[in-house]
Amino acid sequence: MMPRPLEGRVAFITGAARGQGRAHAVRLAADGADIIAVDLCDQIDSVRYPLGSAEELATTAQLVEDTGAGIVAQQADVRDRAALQAALQAGIDRFGRLDIVVANAGIAPMQSGDDGWRDVIDVNLTGVYYTIEVAIPALKMREDGGSIVLISSSAGLIGVASADAGAIGYAAAKHGLVGLMRVYANLLAPHNIRVNSIHPSGVETPMINNEFTLKWLADMASSGFAAGAGNALPVQIMQPEDIANAVAWLVSDQARYITGIAMPVDAGCVNKR
């Protein structure tokens, strides 16, 4: 049998209880990686749709184990650097190394005023910064380097037509990930650690497929924001596995010389704008 492309490697994935995070975990596990998975598994007051649960994180763990990979699944808040460090260390203690980081955890409190602004900046930007920072020492221990992928959004490359502080904060945080990515790509290149960001448009996850977010999207459409917009390709919404496929390629040796790029995986949404 041919070796799987990520055989023997270990991936640290945030926001792994469901949605894109679960898809990343299962895909990288299927490619041979052991997984360190974290999720808040709790609610944030400004977020009006249900966030992931401990039960959903356990389901992710089972799906990873079904591929034959190992997993350490921990509840941790990306806003808490010490908790994030402890969760990562638990995985390193079991698997002995770290090769891949997928900073996926994110929220979308699109109509939550100033509370939404603070929470989305803390989770979607500061949480990604903490994720990178706690992972750097372990990544530097690998002579063959590593790969970091930041999950941003098409809203990290274009504007979002909403005056609510939560929506503005979402766009600001997702744009901020491009800055983080480009700085760390330069800082970590001497250690052969690659850093890139991925920018999806709409993905079929609980963040989108809920009563609150669907109403917000409908309001945006009625205001004229969606007129002539959307994806260029004839697809209304992508699946989490579509983004996981891109992640799997970026962290593999097939992309070994790719660093510092903001890669849309968006069915042509950004180009159409």
Residue 43 — φ and ψ, nearest 5°? -100, 150
Three-state DSSP class for residue 49: coil
Q: Pick the closest to residue 126 from 86, 169, 164 (CA basis).
A: 169
From the candidates 49, 170, 184, 257, give the one annotated as an active-site residue: 170
**Closest-CA residue to 100 (of 27, 175, 176):** 27
Q: What are the φ and ψ backbone dihedral angles of 199, each rounded to 5 degrees?
A: -125, 90
Render the burial of 252-272: b for 16+ CB within 10 Å, e for the rest: beebeeebebbbbbbbebbee
- The residues near 244 (Cβ < 8 Å, ≥ 6 apart) are 20, 23, 24, 26, 27, 28
The CB density around residue 115, as the number of other CB atoms within 10 Å, is 16
Give burial (CB, 10 Å; 0-12/13-18/19+) of 73: buried
170 labelled catalytic: yes
Grouping H, G, I as helix, E, B as strand and the rest as coil, residue 36 is strand
Rg (CA), the chain: 18
Q: Which positions are annotated as active-site residues?
A: 170
